Amino acid sequence: MLTGRDVTEARDAVRRPGRPRSERADRAIIDAALDTFAERGIEGLHCEAVAARAGVGKATLYRRFGGKEDLLVAALASLKSPLPEPRGGPVRDDLTAMLEVMARDAADPRFVRLFAMLHADPGNRYPRLMARYLETVVEPRREMMRSVLRRGIATGELRADADIEIALLALSGAVVARQKEHALPGDSTFVARLVDELLLGLAPR
């Protein structure tokens, strides 16, 4: 998941230059976009309707976001809590801290519903939207976790031949699957157990 700085940069990347921003207007537009998406899906999300719902003019919205795709990417980014910056200590500690944030997000019913809607929609109808979402929201968070795993290899905590991409998918996928399938009880030790089990397989032999 993104750091606070990553989320800001992702939003700034899709905003058009203009007058100094109002944080209240920003929040109102994002909330209106999320509510509209929840009610109407991607097809029913129109910038004019979002602006009206947020109580701002269309010009205010378009100064911040170039269009529907920019707006939705920024709105979805706002749902993800910032990941903690790696501290550079044991790999286990950094991975656990990151996954605990992801697990809290995944337990939020609104988060679950909106992301289920996003991924349920046929991606080939909105290929540019999905590509931008992956590039600006998902990939920076994955790269943070990769950096921790690479550091573990460099320090000898993990095997030199450890498959970083498989480890990344196993960690993040388990958090999502647990919430979706309710396969395991919602106890506070889940993330620590998950990290410990994975690190057993990645440890030097």
Q: Which residues contact 166 (CB under 8 A, 6 or more apart)?
A: none
Determine the topology of domain 79-202 in CATH. Answer: Tetracycline Repressor; domain 2 (1.10.357)
CA distance 81 to 24: 19
- State pLDDT tens for residues 102-112: 999 988 888 88
pTM for this one? Answer: 0.79
Q: Please state the rounded mean pLDDT for residues 99-123.
A: 83
72 touches 45 (CB < 8 A): yes
What CATH number does domain 4-78 carry, 1.10.10.60, 3.20.20.140, 3.40.50.300, 1.10.1740.10? 1.10.10.60
User: pLDDT tens across 23-72, in order?
Assistant: 899 999 999 999 999 999 888 999 999 999 999 999 999 999 989 999 99
Give start-end residues of each CATH 1.10.10.60 domain in the chain.
4-78
